[in-house]
Amino acid sequence: MPADPPRILVIEDEPSLADSIRYNLELEGYDVVVAKTGRKGMERFRKIAPSLVLLDVMLPEMSGLDVCRLIRSQSDVPIIMLTARSSEGDVVAGLELGADDYVTKPFSMRELVSRVRANLRRALEQEGEDRGEELVIGPIRLNPGRHEVVVDGEVVEFRPKEFQLLEFLMSRKGRLVTRERLIDEIWGSDYYGDTKTLNVHIKRIRAKIGDKKKPRRWLVTVRGLGYKFVDE
Ligand code: CA
């Protein structure tokens, strides 16, 4: 029996845009559920457990950012924010609240569909990695089970916090991880030390994995936001 198609929850209050998104995603074979307010979106979310959420920021009753925070408090589902071109602040806020990606309005349906596809694929890869499979990026291999990092075929020693950081970042390959999320994840939300600690750890990790501007950088700094591992 074929697997059920991925189910996508679209939380968007503008009827013509919501219809157009639904139409195009259904053409791609996805199962689409639309909600027009944040509150309804959360109801549907709990009911259908979607594989991905498309979330408008400007929603009546409850803002998309609040919806994002709520979803993230209970699920790792990929969230793509739909934002207005002029609202860079919303993008930053959304990413800090745990959204995975964003597209700015107006966007082409082709672009939207390709983002949906990429985020679903990433989530699937992530599931495999959560089962303790080896993480590989360029010359770096991290084995969570053996707690071992091999760079260019040589075992490299990592301190516990460095290892945790590296594993967290590698397991989110291609995704921006904000500084706040990293500090929260590795040091805990009650951490009040200054953010230099994170800089120092990142610097040590880069030295150990041989990550330099030249010949190439695997762990990229996203200015003002955080870090991400790239593999291309
Ligand atoms: Ca809207």
Q: Where are the domains of the chain?
A: 7-128, 135-229
How far is the centre of ligand 1, averaged over its atoms, from the C-alpha of 109 (Å)? Answer: 17
8 A C-beta contact, residue 37 and residue 60? yes
Non-local CB neighbours of 225 within 8 Å, separated by 6+ positions: 92, 95, 176, 178, 179
Place of tokens 């590989």: 136
8 A C-beta contact, residue 173 and residue 232? no
Residue 132 reports pLDDT greater than 80: no
What pLDDT shows up at residue 147?
Answer: 86
- What are 15-30's pLDDT values in tens digits? 999 999 999 999 999 9
Q: What is the mean predicted confidence (pLDDT) over 73-97?
A: 84
CB atoms within 10 A of CB 141: 17
Question: What band does 176 get if pLDDT is binned at 50, 70 and 90?
Answer: confident
Q: Highest mean pLDDT: which of 85-99, 160-174, 191-205?
A: 160-174
Q: What is the CATH number of domain 7-128?
A: 3.40.50.2300
What pLDDT shows up at residue 190?
Answer: 66
Residue 179 reports pLDDT greater than 90: no
Question: What band does 128 get if pLDDT is binned at 50, 70 and 90?
Answer: low
In CATH terms, are 7-128 and 135-229 the same topology? no
How far is the centre of ligand 1, averaged over its atoms, from the C-alpha of 56 (Å)? Answer: 6
Assign 12 to helix, strand or coil.
Answer: coil
Residue 210 Rama label (left phi>0; alpha psi -120 to 50; beta):
left
Letter for the amino acid at 172? R
How far is the centre of ligand 1, averaged over its atoms, from the C-alpha of 63 (Å)? Answer: 9
How far is the centre of ligand 1, averaged over its atoms, from the C-alpha of 24 (Å)? Answer: 19
The topology under which CATH files domain 135-229 is Arc Repressor Mutant, subunit A (1.10.10)
8 A C-beta contact, residue 202 and residue 165? yes
Q: What is the mean predicted confidence (pLDDT) over 154-178?
A: 91
